Structure 1
């Protein structure tokens, strides 16, 4: 199994970075995972802006040469792991810009007759690890699970990815946030996951 980790946080002295390290460590200890790639969107200086004009059209995004290496990573990966904070009830603009550009028509899905398109990323699985300052149940109780609906239903199911797991960790700026326990939970999951 090939694991692609997409890390979206600008600070390497952060809790999010500690989650990245635990994910990598767990993957390295897991005999089912043969290769790991890490894409740090901030370190990569990924440009999240959508730019369209006469020479660069939205319908051609699936073959944009500037995005080729990222498409190759997604094609290569069996498991895609996203690590990011929840800001204003949703992932950061940097990650959303990556999604806007990479999960494009004719690469991630293909329009067909009927209501839903054909998902072209079938067979892959996704894990979303997100952190937030507010309580863990805040997205569920206050935002009606908008984050999970956005990621699972509006994105991953749309492109054919049915196996999606979430780790939503709240109270991450609190001294009582049980950060170490949550880091160990993520490490254990990736050390043991088989598909």
Structure 2
């Protein structure tokens, strides 16, 4: 059975991020996927990497070890979060730091130091990132250059071996209509079906 890992990072449980994750969960269940779902805020994930994790390949935090085991086995990775200052929320950045770690998500050739290009280890065939924003898409591109695309595609998933990457930004959420939100959810459902 295929395993899908769903990670939600939004402190508001009634957020569009949560609604999108729920739509993804229902769609993946209908497609017969085994699901692992994590709401980082509800689970009170600790984003701080401790000094005893300085080698970044093990942790005394059993939740981190569980996340590492799950992402290593995942066939499909889905992440839902708002755009905050052109970045993921800090809790999700901490998850990336602690979970997408050496010998789980990437490794180096023997005798290579950390300046070498890492080799990706994740087996996932595809990663999907769904963002919400209150910045209109035209302004996002013209003024900010879409930093989330660069972060997720180039700085994270490509280096971890997941070459099939899809990201969608939905918004502005503030002032959106029920019809707009329904259309976003329908698009997510269709996209997941086409990938899965």
> Given the two structures, how large is their TM-score scaled by the length of structure 2?
0.88
The offset of 1:188, in angstroms, is 2.4
Partners of 1:90 and 1:138 in 2: how far apart? 16
Partners of 1:147 and 1:194 in 2: how far apart? 21
Q: In structure 1, what is the equivalent of residue 121 of structure 2?
A: 120
Partners of 1:169 and 1:180 in 2: how far apart? 11
Unpaired runs of 5+ residues, structure 2, are none
Could you say what secondary structure the match of 2:79 adopts?
strand
The offset of 1:123, in angstroms, is 4.4
Residue 20 of structure 1 pairs with residue 17 of structure 2: no
Q: In structure 1, what is the equivalent of residue 4 of structure 2?
A: 3
Partners of 1:64 and 1:124 in 2: how far apart? 26
Q: In structure 2, what is the equivalent of residue 171 of structure 1?
A: 172
The offset of 1:120, in angstroms, is 1.1
Contact 1:121–1:159 (8 Å) recurs in 2 = yes
Unpaired runs of 5+ residues, structure 1, are none
Across the two proteins, how many residue pairs are aligned to each other?
A: 188
Partners of 2:9 and 2:102 in 1: how far apart? 23
CA-based RMSD = 1.8
Stretch deviating more after TM superposition (77-86 or 8-17): 8-17
Q: In structure 2, what is the equivalent of residue 186 of structure 1?
A: 188
Does the C-alpha gap of structure 1 residues 100 and 181 become closer, same or farther in structure 2, counting only changes over 3 Å? same
Contact 2:53–2:59 (8 Å) recurs in 1 = no
Contact 2:108–2:117 (8 Å) recurs in 1 = yes
Q: Deviations over 1:73-128 (max 9, x none)?
A: 10221101000000111111010000011111222111234841111114431000
Please list every run of at least 4 consecutive aligned residues from structure 1 whose deviation after the TM superposition is greater than 3 angstroms.
none
The offset of 1:154, in angstroms, is 0.8
